[in-house]
Structure 1
Amino acid sequence: MTATANQNPEQIARDRIDQMLMDAGWLVQDKSKVNLSAGLGIAVREYQTDIGPADYVLFVNRKPVGVIEAKREESGEKLTVVEDQSTQYANASLKYNLNKEPLPFVYESTGVITRFTDYRDPKPRSRPVFHFHQPQTLLDWFDKSETLRARLRKMPTLPETGLRPAQIKAINNLENSFKENRPKALIQMATGAGKTFTACTFAYRLLKHVDAKRILFLVDTKNLGEQAEQEFLKYQPVDDNRKFTELYNVQRLSSSYIATDSQVCISTIQRLYSILKGQELDEEVEKENPNEKGWNWQKKEPLPVEYTSKNPIEQFDFIIIDEAHRSIYNLWKQVLDYFDAFLIGLTATPDKRTFGFFNQNVVSEYTYEDSVSDGVNVPYDVFTIETEISKKGSKIEAKTEQFIEKRDKQSRKQRWERLDEDFEYTPNKLDKDVVNPNQIRTIIQAFKKALPTIFPDRFDEKGEFEVPKTLIFAKTDSHADDIINMVREEFGEGNDFCKKLTYKIEEDPKSVLNRFRNSWAPRIAVTVDMIATGTDVKPLEVLLFMRDVKSINYFEQMKGRGTRTINFDDLQKVTRTAKHTKTHFVIVDAVGATKSKKTDSRPLERKPGTPLKDLLGAVAMGAQDEDLFTSLANRLIRLDKQLTEREKTELLKLTNGKALNTISKELLEAYDPDTASQIEEDTQKGYAGSSPDEIGKALNKAMEQKRNEATKVFTGELNEYIENVRKVHDQVIDTINQDKVISAEWDSFTTDKAKDVVKEFSAYIEAHKDEITALSIFYDQAYNRRALSYHMIKELMEKLKREKPLLAPHYVWEAYNQLENIKENSPKNELVALVSLIRKVSGIDNELTPYHKTVDKNFQDWVFKQNAGKHNKFTPDQMEWLRMMKDHIANSFHVEVDDLDYTPFDAKGGRGKMWALFGEETDNVIIELNQNLTA
């Protein structure tokens, strides 16, 4: 707002406050012209009290409800210092008013900074607010017997049914934070630990028990918004047989319209920012994470959001910020500062800024390591693939008559060009400016070759290997296409085996994702960024990194795709050769992603090297910085000179006939001094006789309109076209240099992890050897092992799963394999694997040997002794029966006479046939087999 030098600072503040009140729906009146019937909310200036005139007294529905203490901005007075003064007016007796009750709603304001206190709150505490509340809001609050903060103190005990311990802790601590009137709270919860379910639970409790008016669930991608909506749709409270959406209205915002009866709103932060700016938003902008894509243009003076009566500051009581580590900075912080609401952050990977923003009020810390220890998530191992070209790059030497292949990035059309000089490329140019098909093929070949080593138990009855569900992270869309072609070729499979998962595919990406999650095919999915975060694909067991990332938060989110647990039956539905439940996942690192230097966050600074995509994203989000407009205009001017006629024609279709040079000119004119002078002159004429403040506001509005006109052409479709067409049109295809594998092996750090797993398993077995029947038998004399039964081992397995879910037998077996190079694969049956491990730990076996192999050897020794002794030689029929009993012991650890009545013995004649073959020796044979085969 413009002011002349001789204006009174206090009057400037009053003028601003007047305007704010009017914007919020108040009628501002002088004390000499009071008409309390003129509207719902009346703000009376200089209203007389028994201690002097109050700057403003607020009346709603003719009743006095609050006061405003006005202070000049330039005085430097801190508003908290004048709280006693404003409280005195609130407690004073008002002239002509018989009601002697203190006024509950008290503001202190300079017109720039405003603080508010509701003195009916328990331990009333002032808080900063962006603007004044609307009259209807104060009336609603005034008519309630208790305030929101008072109601928060009376929340009932949380029912713990269906909640994990970490979720219970998070909700209880969050509700305690509310009771203490702490404005911000952060829930740190590992990916896969149920953050959204936790949010649904406490949102339900806030709506039911606290009578919250509206809750906002804020995300930063459309994908996350859709997932949150699905969570609310399927959420059913434990104390009601109806679904959440049958009890409360849930609206996912797809326009600027927010329904008055919505109790939960789900929105991207980009859309909400646009709503507060009064601008429409292209849905394309919501598809990608703005923090990673550079839309947080760091401007000299961030264009602030402005108050809008359609979306008052009290529109939401609570704001849940999903993935809070990336949604609370730069442009986005203004959205959060705008609303007078409690802020609850959800994140798996907070950084220092996140903790700072939430005032270090971390109500729950549940790390990935915690979730793994509890069996909520699974751990991971790292297998590295290193090739020469991936590590060092390469060089195409110029030779006489040397031609190289080039490919158009967009159309993928190929052509040949003469190479006049050596073409050298570094690893970071791969799959962007240059493509070496053999380098991609070499990695895929090494990956295919390593899979049986990584998952040695995934062979079917025919000896064919089944590829685990695998997600490959590619650098670009073009890179993804190259990978898909190589995967299909090298694995000898068709189109369904490997699919691309991005928003740009012709197939419905949700349909492909659902098939990847729930069906056998595709086995491998390749993505650039669509499911880097927030997408639940539980059967995933392999993440193949063929792109690196520099943000530690983003990397952790990408890793999180593999952490989900899944029960055995569900895993086997999509992976038929799975022999046990998912115990871990494997990162196959082909680019050094697990070892490259990572930063806490990706700073986005204004500099000449800012990618064009970041500039386009910034204007699409409404940023209007002069440097931004100038930088983008200059880039477009250069691009216009590079475009072919066909490309210019295509571009005109997307701009309603505007050429790039016209668009560039409009961007430059938006901050051109001559243009600004002309707009100012026109505004002065149009507002002749108006106050300087009114003229200033009109001028600002006209300038903003000019800038909006310059940027409204930048839709998601146009931005994508410019981004693709402006890149180096051609990629060099290096078909000359052949790549080769330097190493393909388990990462060295997993050796330490393997030692820890083996040590923990041994300690657990040793600690329980006296209290668990099965273990006491192993540690007792060999003679007693004949009493070991299937039920005893089953009981031990169930106890192990409950208390130490990470110590799954197959996982422990792999740990031993890394340390001792075990000759045999883990037995298919996890109970058999467990017995094998216990025999190793208890000292019965010197080497880890599959139990069925031990039984086989002991059986051979026993038969040899029997044939050489009193039995002379067993008949073929007798040997068939003995082998059946041997196999039964190998899988069930014990055989009894009653077992002969069941499969497979019953099909061969059961106990009657046994007696016919062995006669009176039957019982002795069974006793000897149990005793000798389990030795």
Structure 2
Amino acid sequence: MSKKEYSERDICTKFITPAIEAAGWDQTTQIREEYSITNGRIIVRGKLHTRAKNKRADYILFYKPNIPIAVIEAKDSSYSVGAGMQQALGYAELLQVPFVFSSNGDGFLFHNRISNNGVMEQELPLDKFPSPSELWNKWMEHKGLSKEQEELITQDYYSDGSNKTPRYYQLLAINKTIEAIAEGKNRILLVMATGTGKTYTAFQIIWRLWKSKTKKRILFLADRNILVDQTMTNDFKPFGSTMTKIQKRQANKSYEIYLSLYQAVTGAEEEKDIYKQFSPNFFDLIIIDECHRGSAAEDSNWRTILEYFSSATQIGLTATPKETKDVSNIQYFGDPIYTYSLRQGIEDGFLAPYKVVRIDLDKDLTGWRPEKDTKDKFGNLVEDRIYNQKDFDKTLVLEKRTQLVAKKISEYLKQTNRFDKTIVFCDNIDHAERMRQALVNENSDLVKDNSKYIMRITGDNEEGKVELDNFIFPESKYPVIATTSKLMSTGVDAQTCKLIVLDQRIQSMTEFKQIIGRGTRINEDYNKYYFTIIDFKKATELFADPDFDGDPVMIYQPKGEESPVPPDEQTDPEGSDGTSVPDGNGFDDDDLDSDGTISDPPLRPKRYVVQNVEVKVSSERIQYFDASGKLITESLKDYTRKALQKEFASLDAFLQRWNHADKKQAVIEELANQGVFFEALAEEIGRDLDPFDIVCHVAWDQPPLTRKQRAERARQENYFVKYGEQAKKVIEALIDKYADQGVVPIEETQILTISPFPNFGTPIEILKHFGGMDGYQEAIHKIESALYNA
């Protein structure tokens, strides 16, 4: 067998791997073949999902288990030595590795991304592949690091012997943090989208610094009890007896790893602050989880802790850096040394994508003005003015609006799954309670079975807060629906949440990202691959904001100086620990205007409650995301037409591709991966249409036939005269299956194992009626020709 006949895998096995090993690379610890970098984006199609192809490098070379240093892309010998270089460079940029190779088994093309002598690419013979130390020394020289810094950088991450290793972006975050500390940086900000494993990343950072004895006493600060407890029992468990949780008014200085709530180490009176029991230089590393929630504000108690331990290296972790005129994470920590965004997480397939159901209500769009002398249900005279969406549920309650929202939520769940975990975000605690009542009335059958089917989980309600853990844990069936205002907007690891309802007017990009983050976790064990957002208050218009997934911009303005940038952060009325927090002026969240500022003390009632104003749905539409993750703003049919006409120059070009495909399923999957939403289009045009008819109708205005019409037409063709009686019965049954289920099932031989085919014999006996597998496949092609004959 000549080299020209070898497959790509043969080239790897016979030529590339031996060349790498001969250069001194260890097969078990340094060479990773067919290395999956990403999981492949989850693409949602109606109620179904599929995964796009993941990014997988032929080889990743690791200097140490935690340090990827080179990418190799292989091709078979029909390609040139450098044919894989552009693909390899794409992987190298994602992994941020310095050295890149392409090979066809005859030699290597070497691309040095850190070259400073003008020569970036050169060809190398197979026997001249660089050794691990050769590449590492080039990298160390480029970084300008000392031997002492090298020891810290090469400290391994924690491994329990299982297959769990940090994902590529976690490894980047860990390595960049360790490098920054090795270089003497003491204020570090990491931005990682909700659901991407910030706590696991923090654990690995601490482990390497602790094991290398670079940092000996470490404090991990969080702002919710549940976050501290989850961290200790899950990600931080390997620290074992060296770890403790700081309780209020109690300081034991014999441990090495400390976890604490901010609130546990600060008190109302300064002398009671427990952190003062530790000397200012006691901790040499502090990790601040969810640091956007106030720790960087100059006048906060939490900031006081950080300033007291100012000699410690401090690392801020957040999904959404808080940047307002008064509060700036960037001003305190500096620019993020690494950002892994929500968009990137969805693109890589590590985070769940979402579809948006936008429902506009008539009174929200047109406003409502009371007739003269209108009184609310409590006898208060309603002020005569136009009330709009900014007012609803804050200064004015339309009871029928609340009932309609509850009805639409319940309708959606009845169409999908009434036990899908659901969070309904309301404008305030009062709104959350009224929404709970309205949902109870819409779902009385399930509430009769268990009163915890619907719960209000807000900071003022102990019964609800007690159920927060049960809502979060996938194993707990109840509660199913949680109504809330602020308490669940951050730090709640709701892995199985499949529906997020926005009946809250959201002006803050930080808050919006946090709320969306409640649904982004994937849990394959519970069939959670994507989630749905139902938006009643136009909050999802923030998806169109360039800042939605852009880099954080520092807009910090020192106190006393005017800022042209208006504050976009709403005060958090439920406090970071879930308790009700007055703002110091005696107002609660009901006194906040929509932009988060404090109103004058009200002379009128806090809010009018009006009973009998009819509210209707003005428009309801599903918004989809194309194959590249961009929101489709035009109609689905118009978008699909453009996508298909870009792919196929004409109807004839499509027919040729369809008719010549060995399996129609391949064409369907190819189009689905490019953003054709077959199931959604079928609901719009006609559910029993074949994908073939959907394409021809949407793109080229051809009159569609139903599957049953195509099946009837196929039976009348003369394609099947040569077959015997038993074979014709099988063909008839296959055409019936097509009429019921479409073309994809009849292309799989497994169909012969289900009814009615066992009546005709075993699969092997059925194939014999066609002269074997080849004859059977020929019959399938004849059926398809009869179905799609122009």
- Structure-1-length-normalised TM-score: 0.52
Tell me, yes or no, if structure 1 residue 382 matches structure 2 residue 381: no
Picking from 568, 587, 612, the partner of 1:736 is 612
Picking from 775, 779, 789, the partner of 1:928 is 779
Picking from 772, 778, 782, the partner of 2:659 is 782
- SS of match in other structure, 2:166: coil
User: Where do residues 370-449 of structure 1 align in structure 2 (5 Å cutoff)?
Assistant: 370-391=344-365, 393-398=367-372, 404-406=376-378, 417=379, 419=381, 425=387, 427-448=389-410
Distance in 2, matches of 1:921 and 1:469, equals: 50
Q: Check the 8 A contact 1:384/1:588 in 2, yes or no.
A: yes
Please report how far the alpha carbon of residue 513 of structure 1 lies from its aligned counterpart in structure 2 after TM superposition.
Answer: 4.3
1:542 is matched with 499
2:430 is matched with 478
Output the amino acid matched with 1:751: I
Please report how far the alpha carbon of residue 189 of structure 1 lies from its aligned counterpart in structure 2 after TM superposition.
Answer: 0.9
Distance in 2, matches of 1:617 and 1:920, equals: 74
Picking from 230, 254, 262, the partner of 2:247 is 254
1:588 is matched with 535
Instruction: Specify which structure has the higher proportion of helix.
Output: 1
Please report how far the alpha carbon of residue 736 of structure 1 lies from its aligned counterpart in structure 2 after TM superposition.
Answer: 3.4
Q: Check the 8 A contact 1:389/1:739 in 2, yes or no.
A: yes
Picking from 278, 281, 296, the partner of 1:328 is 296
Tell me, yes or no, if structure 1 residue 162 matches structure 2 residue 156: no
- SS of match in other structure, 1:555: helix
* Structure 1 residues 261 and 203, CA gap change in structure 2 (3 angstroms): same
Picking from 301, 318, 334, the partner of 1:347 is 318
Q: Check the 8 A contact 2:640/2:699 in 1, yes or no.
A: no
Q: Check the 8 A contact 2:380/2:608 in 1, yes or no.
A: no
Please report how far the alpha carbon of residue 272 of structure 1 lies from its aligned counterpart in structure 2 after TM superposition.
Answer: 2.9
Tell me, yes or no, if structure 1 residue 212 matches structure 2 residue 228: no
1:772 is matched with none
- SS of match in other structure, 2:203: helix
1:24 is matched with none
1:562 is matched with 519
* Structure 1 residues 614 and 391, CA gap change in structure 2 (3 angstroms): same
* Structure 1 residues 258 and 728, CA gap change in structure 2 (3 angstroms): farther
* Structure 1 residues 895 and 396, CA gap change in structure 2 (3 angstroms): closer
Picking from 186, 189, 193, the partner of 1:186 is 189
Distance in 2, matches of 1:759 and 1:266, equals: 56
- SS of match in other structure, 1:484: helix
Please report how far the alpha carbon of residue 193 of structure 1 lies from its aligned counterpart in structure 2 after TM superposition.
Answer: 0.9
Tell me, yes or no, if structure 1 residue 499 matches structure 2 residue 461: no
- SS of match in other structure, 2:316: strand
* Structure 1 residues 755 and 562, CA gap change in structure 2 (3 angstroms): farther
User: Where do residues 572-611 of structure 1 align in structure 2 (5 Å cutoff)?
Assistant: 582-590=529-537, 592=539, 594-595=541-542
* Structure 1 residues 582 and 273, CA gap change in structure 2 (3 angstroms): same
- SS of match in other structure, 1:745: strand
1:92 is matched with none
Deviations 1:427-459 (A, max 9, x none): 44433443221121233344556678xxxxx56
Please report how far the alpha carbon of residue 481 of structure 1 lies from its aligned counterpart in structure 2 after TM superposition.
Answer: 1.5
- SS of match in other structure, 1:171: helix
Deviations 1:355-380 (A, max 9, x none): 232233x3211111211211111333
Q: Check the 8 A contact 1:188/1:365 in 2, yes or no.
A: yes
* Structure 1 residues 879 and 466, CA gap change in structure 2 (3 angstroms): farther
Tell me, yes or no, if structure 1 residue 311 matches structure 2 residue 278: yes
Deviations 1:470-503 (A, max 9, x none): 3111122221121122223235544344322224
- Structure-2-length-normalised TM-score: 0.60
* Structure 1 residues 757 and 279, CA gap change in structure 2 (3 angstroms): farther
Distance in 2, matches of 1:602 and 1:385, equals: 36
* Structure 1 residues 758 and 541, CA gap change in structure 2 (3 angstroms): farther
Distance in 2, matches of 1:349 and 1:742, equals: 34
Structure 1's unaligned 5+ residue stretches are 1-146, 237-242, 282-306, 407-416, 453-457, 460-464, 572-580, 637-724, 767-776, 801-806, 828-832
Please report how far the alpha carbon of residue 526 of structure 1 lies from its aligned counterpart in structure 2 after TM superposition.
Answer: 0.9
1:358 is matched with 333
Distance in 2, matches of 1:189 and 1:384, equals: 28
Picking from 198, 201, 208, the partner of 1:198 is 201
Q: Check the 8 A contact 1:158/1:172 in 2, yes or no.
A: no
Q: Check the 8 A contact 2:735/2:783 in 1, yes or no.
A: no
* Structure 1 residues 474 and 913, CA gap change in structure 2 (3 angstroms): same
1:894 is matched with 747
Output the amino acid matched with 1:502: T
Deviations 1:876-920 (A, max 9, x none): 966774457757984445355x9756776336643598599x798
Deviations 1:54-92 (A, max 9, x none): xxxxxxxxxxxxxxxxxxxxxxxxxxxxxxxxxxxxxxx
Distance in 1, matches of 2:677 and 2:736, equals: 30
Deviations 1:188-207 (A, max 9, x none): 11111111110011112222
2:272 is matched with 279
Q: Check the 8 A contact 2:472/2:492 in 1, yes or no.
A: no
Q: Check the 8 A contact 1:189/1:346 in 2, yes or no.
A: yes
Identical positions, percent: 20
Tell me, yes or no, if structure 1 residue 750 matches structure 2 residue 631: yes
Picking from 238, 241, 244, the partner of 1:244 is 238
* Structure 1 residues 848 and 382, CA gap change in structure 2 (3 angstroms): farther
Structure with bigger gyration radius: 1
Deviations 1:625-681 (A, max 9, x none): xxx99x67xx99xxxxxxxxxxxxxxxxxxxxxxxxxxxxxxxxxxxxxxxxxxxxx
* Structure 1 residues 150 and 728, CA gap change in structure 2 (3 angstroms): farther
- SS of match in other structure, 2:280: coil
* Structure 1 residues 396 and 915, CA gap change in structure 2 (3 angstroms): closer
Matched pairs, number: 583
Q: Check the 8 A contact 2:641/2:699 in 1, yes or no.
A: no
User: Where do residues 676-825 of structure 1 align in structure 2 (5 Å cutoff)?
Assistant: 731-746=607-622, 750-752=631-633, 782=659, 785=662, 788=663, 812-814=675-677, 817=680, 822-824=684-686
* Structure 1 residues 889 and 558, CA gap change in structure 2 (3 angstroms): closer
Output the amino acid matched with 1:905: F
Tell me, yes or no, if structure 1 residue 509 matches structure 2 residue 465: yes
Q: Check the 8 A contact 2:421/2:497 in 1, yes or no.
A: yes
* Structure 1 residues 167 and 908, CA gap change in structure 2 (3 angstroms): same
- SS of match in other structure, 1:405: coil
Please report how far the alpha carbon of residue 387 of structure 1 lies from its aligned counterpart in structure 2 after TM superposition.
Answer: 2.4
* Structure 1 residues 926 and 200, CA gap change in structure 2 (3 angstroms): closer
Please report how far the alpha carbon of residue 821 of structure 1 lies from its aligned counterpart in structure 2 after TM superposition.
Answer: 8.1
Please report how far the alpha carbon of residue 349 of structure 1 lies from its aligned counterpart in structure 2 after TM superposition.
Answer: 1.6
Output the amino acid matched with 1:550: Q
* Structure 1 residues 822 and 813, CA gap change in structure 2 (3 angstroms): farther
* Structure 1 residues 451 and 927, CA gap change in structure 2 (3 angstroms): same
Structure 2's unaligned 5+ residue stretches are 1-145, 548-552, 561-566, 589-600, 625-629, 649-653
Please report how far the alpha carbon of residue 319 of structure 1 lies from its aligned counterpart in structure 2 after TM superposition.
Answer: 0.6
Q: Check the 8 A contact 1:840/1:847 in 2, yes or no.
A: no
Distance in 2, matches of 1:497 and 1:865, equals: 56
User: Where do residues 64-79 of structure 1 align in structure 2 (5 Å cutoff)?
Assistant: none
- SS of match in other structure, 1:812: coil
* Structure 1 residues 726 and 507, CA gap change in structure 2 (3 angstroms): farther
* Structure 1 residues 349 and 901, CA gap change in structure 2 (3 angstroms): closer
Distance in 2, matches of 1:808 and 1:342, equals: 49
Output the amino acid matched with 1:256: R
* Structure 1 residues 479 and 534, CA gap change in structure 2 (3 angstroms): same
Please report how far the alpha carbon of residue 343 of structure 1 lies from its aligned counterpart in structure 2 after TM superposition.
Answer: 0.7
Output the amino acid matched with 2:516: K
